[in-house]
């Protein structure tokens, strides 16, 4: 009789699981998957669900737990990763069961939100995830661009730059919605910040002896991506110098297309103009989001939203958010913002869970289709914030 179970990974299944992931994604760098089970301080066996058939691991899904900033608050995010089934066992519901168990574990552990990166929208849509499109700039890299700066010297990052880079990241991303709060151990064990690791090129900009900014670029075939770009306050000009140096290098190296995966708003458009031959907007639809414990999440953020609402002059309005657990209403009393279940006869403007995540990140993807009062209400609760989930944190 066949014995099959879907449950938390057993210690003696770690090798099988890593092998499943390397077989499923053969282009991953050596050591890439080991860190999920052996290099992540947040990992516990409950976070890796496996389906086992007669003692063989045939499917998996796992939760990568991260703390992200969100203004003055932090949120607990579960990145869903390594969803894989051995080819002969596909189409039998194993991956679905592994993900369902991940969702139960995240709900029980009071995670706020789950995210994942995948084009399988249908598969994850049934599990409550919705796409949250992110835009970026792309175009051919410019060769003839002035990279000289009197203020900043750009050079390859070396080991002695790691500590200042960590400090610059922390300063630049303080409070930035969805930016992962990174410890030194995380830089070392997860990002493998050793000048190479899973990143292809890291540059730093120095003003005199002080490192004040850095950029990380990745090459894939004849395309390249700038995936991280951070400076200390007051040194935004260094971003242009860093990007132009990368752009010139890419053009000389035969790169046909350079993409800037960076938070929107100032100074991104002017950087794109400067270092791309013809700027186009690209849309990445791989980010999918799912609220977990949406009631607790909304109640948790309500005090901060109340502060914002008061600072904006307490405008009238109400809003409903559709969540995998049913709609929740955000309404105002005389002095504060309240979160409650919706009553059937209510008809407030309704936004989706991915709209809420975009709004929390400081991007307004939905108010253009709502009435003027709701638009003002939304703008009071969710001011522009340039949130971002950096590619180096993707799971």
Comparison of 24 and 331: residue with beta carbon closer to ligand COA: 24
CB of 66 to ligand COA, least distance (A): 17
Angle at Cα 248 formed by Cα 245 and Cα 252, nearest 5°?
140
CA distances from 261 to 121, 228, 258 (A): 21, 7, 10
Q: Radius of gyration over alpha carbons of the chain, in Å?
A: 22
CB of 51 to ligand COA, least distance (A): 8
Comparison of 45 and 93: residue with beta carbon closer to ligand COA: 93
Residue 223 is encoded by which pair of tokens? 């395309």
CB of 120 to ligand COA, least distance (A): 6
Question: Pick from 263, 42, 276, 12: which is nearest to 140 by CA?
Answer: 276
Comparison of 94 and 388: residue with beta carbon closer to ligand COA: 94
Comparison of 132 and 206: residue with beta carbon closer to ligand COA: 132
Comparison of 94 and 363: residue with beta carbon closer to ligand COA: 94
**Which residues would be at the binding site for ligand COA (CB under 6 A)?**
24, 59, 83-85, 90-96, 118, 120, 122-123
Comparison of 93 and 195: residue with beta carbon closer to ligand COA: 93
CB of 90 to ligand COA, least distance (A): 3
CB of 138 to ligand COA, least distance (A): 23
CB of 197 to ligand COA, least distance (A): 22
CA distances from 35 to 58, 176, 210, 211, 395 (A): 20, 26, 32, 29, 11
Comparison of 84 and 232: residue with beta carbon closer to ligand COA: 84
Asked whether the beta carbons of 127 and 103 are under 8 A apart, the reply is yes
CB of 286 to ligand COA, least distance (A): 9
258-283: b or e for each residue (b if 16 or more CB lie within 10 Å)? bbbbbbbeebbeebbebbbeebeeee
Comparison of 124 and 193: residue with beta carbon closer to ligand COA: 124
CB of 181 to ligand COA, least distance (A): 24
Report how many helices (DSSP H) and strands (DSSP E) the chain contains, helices first.
11, 18
CB of 70 to ligand COA, least distance (A): 25
Comparison of 59 and 366: residue with beta carbon closer to ligand COA: 59
Strands 56-70 and 48-53: antiparallel
- Burial of 231 from C-beta contacts in 10 A (0-12 / 13-18 / 19+): buried
Q: Is the dihedral of CA 390, 234, 257, 277 positive or negative?
A: positive
In angstroms, the CA 43 to CA 17 distance is 15
Residue 386 is encoded by which pair of tokens? 């340039």
Residue 279 is encoded by which pair of tokens? 């700027």
Residue 244 is encoded by which pair of tokens? 């132009």
């Amino acid at each position: 009789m066949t014995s099959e179970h879907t449950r938390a990974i057993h210690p003696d299944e770690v090798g099988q699981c890593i092998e499943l992931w390397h077989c499923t994604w053969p282009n991953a760098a050596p050591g890439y998957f080991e860190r999920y089970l052996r290099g992540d301080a947040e990992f516990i066996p409950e976070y890796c669900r496996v389906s086992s058939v007669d003692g063989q691991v045939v499917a998996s899904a796992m939760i990568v737990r991260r703390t992200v900033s969100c203004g003055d608050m932090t949120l607990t995010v579960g990145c869903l990763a390594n969803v894989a089934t051995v080819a002969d066992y596909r189409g039998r519901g194993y991956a679905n069961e592994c993900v369902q168990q991940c969702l139960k574990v995240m709900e029980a552990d009071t995670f706020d939100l789950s995210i994942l990166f995948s084009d399988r929208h249908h598969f994850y849509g049934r599990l409550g995830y919705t796409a949250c499109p992110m835009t970026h700039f792309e175009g051919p890299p410019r060769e003839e661009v002035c990279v000289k700066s009197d203020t900043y010297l750009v050079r390859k990052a070396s080991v002695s730059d790691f500590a200042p880079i960590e400090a610059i990241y922390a300063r630049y991303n303080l409070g930035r919605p969805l930016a992962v709060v990174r410890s030194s151990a995380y830089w070392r064990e997860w990002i493998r910040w050793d000048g190479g690791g899973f990143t292809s090129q890291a540059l730093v900009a120095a003003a005199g002896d002080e490192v004040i900014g850095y950029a990380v670029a990745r090459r894939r075939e004849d395309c390249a991506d700038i995936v991280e770009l951070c400076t200390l306050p007051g040194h935004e000009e260094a971003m242009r110098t860093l990007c132009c140096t990368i752009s010139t290098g890419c053009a000389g190296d035969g790169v046909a297309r350079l993409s800037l995966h960076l938070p929107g708003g100032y100074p991104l458009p002017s950087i794109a103009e400067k270092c791309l031959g013809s700027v186009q907007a690209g849309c990445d639809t791989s980010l999918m989001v799912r609220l977990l414990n949406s009631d607790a999440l909304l109640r948790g953020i309500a005090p901060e939203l109340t502060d914002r609402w008061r600072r904006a002059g307490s405008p009238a309005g109400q809003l409903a958010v559709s969540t995998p657990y049913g709609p929740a209403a955000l309404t105002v009393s005389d002095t504060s913002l309240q979160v409650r279940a919706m009553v059937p006869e209510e008809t407030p403007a309704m936004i989706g869970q991915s709209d809420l995540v975009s709004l929390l990140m400081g991007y307004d993807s939905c108010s253009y289709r709502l009435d003027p009062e709701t638009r003002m209400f939304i703008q009071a609760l969710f001011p522009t914030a340039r949130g971002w989930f950096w590619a180096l944190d993707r799971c």
